Chain A
Amino acid sequence: MKKRNRFVYYGKKILTFVVSVFILSAVVFYVSRLAPGDPLVSYYGDRVEKMTPGEREWAKERLGLNDSVTVQYVRWLDHAFRGDFGISWKYKTDVVDVIGGRIGNTLLLGGLGFVFIFVFSLLLGVWCAWHEEGPADRMICNVGTLTSCIPEFWLSLVLILVFSVTLHWLPSSGAYSVGKERDFADRVMHLILPVGIVVLNHLWYYAYMVRNKILEEVRADYVLLARAKGLTKRAVMFRHCLRNVMPSYLSLMAISVPHILGGTYIVETVFSYPGIGTLAYESARYKDYNLLMLLCILSGILVILCNLTAQIINERIDPRIREQEVSERLEVTEP
């Protein structure tokens, strides 16, 4: 590809990204304001019920809720461009600080989960495909289906019941024991169960996809030619089949990032793990507008970025996509 073309290509992607984030922020803003529920609750808590209409009016005025939604949105945008996302009404501090204090924990949990899922699903998928329809493959398939269809929260509960309550091997909640914030081993102990559950819950979905994709590839004609060259089965599997599966695997994994992070939210709740998952639910329920906006935009950015990555992987890495374009053209000439 020529340099100019590449510039145009990535330029377009960046433009798409900016526009999508902008639209997303507008949609979330409008939708959240139009929804029923009293936003004052999150700021004043139970005191709201005792307020006189006058006090309410004053409180609304103070929080800027009396202006039209569009005015509010423009004001929010204006502040946001200057890096000011407002304060959380519930925590009464800057939302950036509220999120900043917790996002590390979520990223650690989700990131570790993602890495394990990424590595193990590929290995497991290849292994199962290699032993197709053998007893080991069948057993793994059944166990995999079982783990992936059990709800995450129940799996967490059962594992806590077994490993924490009954065996006392692992801690059942939190990110670290009190007073041991800097203790590495303690952190690891606290992460084992949550990460394990995230991995168990998602692993099979991706491993099964790898397995099926490879089984499809193994049935292609080029495998015969590669073997007729004198390549060993192992070489054909790794140099040809796996290679062909990689682009779709990578793009699937890119899209999976928000899913895996989404999965950590549930685990966070069960383990009372201080991450942003719990924060998101609270902000949505209590109409903590500023917090909700920033969380939505952060997740939105993540979703859009991952989608764009997947798209770029599909379009740039896999020559078959280019071929598809060509074949579609051929189809057109000779339908």
Chain B
Amino acid sequence: MRGAFELAGIRPLPEEAPEKAENRYRGRPIFSAVLLTLIVLGCAGCRLIMTKDPTYMDLSHYNTAPNGEFLFGTDAMGRDIFSMIWYGGRLSLFIGTASAAISTVIAVVFGAASGLAPAWLDALLMRVTEILLSVPGLLLIVLLQAILGEADVFRISLVIGVTGWMSIAKVVRTEVRQLRGHEYILAAKCMGGGFFYILRRHLAPNFVSSVMFMVVMNVRSAIVAESTLSFMGIGLPLEVITWGSMLSLAEKALLTGAWWTILIPGLFLAAVLMCITNLGNYLRKNINRKESNL
């Protein structure tokens, strides 16, 4: 131990052991992502998968239970459900994303305006949003539909989009308000950054993550809205195949006991919605959560 008590002075800290590489896939919705991708790909490439013409009414085979030829059976009009699923899914997903896109554009503009507006205007805009938000969405859609007239794919996307922006707008507005108080915005202003510079470099990257969640949820609610409308016979006509319009025959199926016409399109719908929800929740999760005090 001689020399142990000699002055050694400051030595550098030993290099820290590299952090344990955490399981990259932990907590990530891998299953949902894969399933959703498969369904979306299937719908996009429906021509390759379909075994029959989805619009062809094979009246000799109506209400057939699933078998080797009709994988998922046929509906009351003799159409092949397996083919209809992929064919109709394309439209359902398109309506969902299109109307979510419309909502997002309206919401970002409206929310950012409200967030940047002076207090009184902000309060006014937010009251309008809240009132609109508390009107049952479906009622709004029906009213708008009545005004716009006969439904087609674009019109219905527009209607759903126009009625679904309120909650995203609220999120955008809150985020902008919060960010506005951050000192790095002030710092950027001091350095001479203009409004658009700040929007591009500082605001947008910061609110994207929380808005993403709302957008994803909006895709979900748009798909639900479309299918509900079609189911109730006030959305797309029966000839336009979507998951919703496929289900509009379901009430008759209840009487005949043709469970496959209800369960199969519904399961697809539910699976997609569930996957979207899981992905959305993952986007929202904040990693550094404080510990509970209780």
Contact = CB atoms under 8 A, between A and B. Distances in A.
Interface of A: 20, 31-32, 34-37, 132, 145-146, 149-154, 157-158, 160-161, 164-165, 172, 215, 218-221, 223-224, 227, 233, 236-237, 241, 255, 258-259, 261-263, 265-266, 269-270, 280-281, 284-285, 287, 296, 299, 303-304, 306-307, 331
Contacts of B293: 218-221, 223-224, 227
Interface residues of B, number: 46
**Chain A binding surface, main DSSP class:** helix
Contacts of B259: 161
B135 interface: yes
B134 A303 contact: yes
Given A149-B273, A237-B294, A158 B134 contact: no
A258 B135 contact: yes
Interface of B: 130-131, 133-139, 142-143, 145-149, 181, 220, 224, 227-228, 231-232, 234, 247, 250-251, 254, 257, 259, 262-263, 266, 269-270, 273-274, 276-278, 281, 290-294
Given A157-B266, A218-B294, A284-B143, A299 B228 contact: no
**Chain B binding surface, main DSSP class:** helix
Counting chain A CB atoms within 10 Å of each CB, the highest count among B130, B134, B278, B281 belongs to B134
A164 B257 CA distance: 11
B147 A31 contact: yes
A123 to B, nearest CB: 18
Given A161-B259, A262-B139, A172 B254 contact: yes
A219 B227 contact: no
A157 B228 contact: no
Contacts of B138: 262, 265-266
B166 to A, nearest CB: 12
Contacts of B227: 151, 153-154
Nearest to B135: A303
A122 to B, nearest CB: 18
Given A154-B270, A158-B263, A161-B262, A219 B142 contact: no
Given A262-B137, A269-B232, 9 more contacts: A35-B147, A146-B270, A151-B228, A151-B231, A154-B231, A158-B262, A219-B291, A233-B294, A258-B136
Given A265-B138, A307-B134, A145 B274 contact: yes
A165 B149 CA distance: 36
A221 B290 CA distance: 11
B257 A151 contact: no
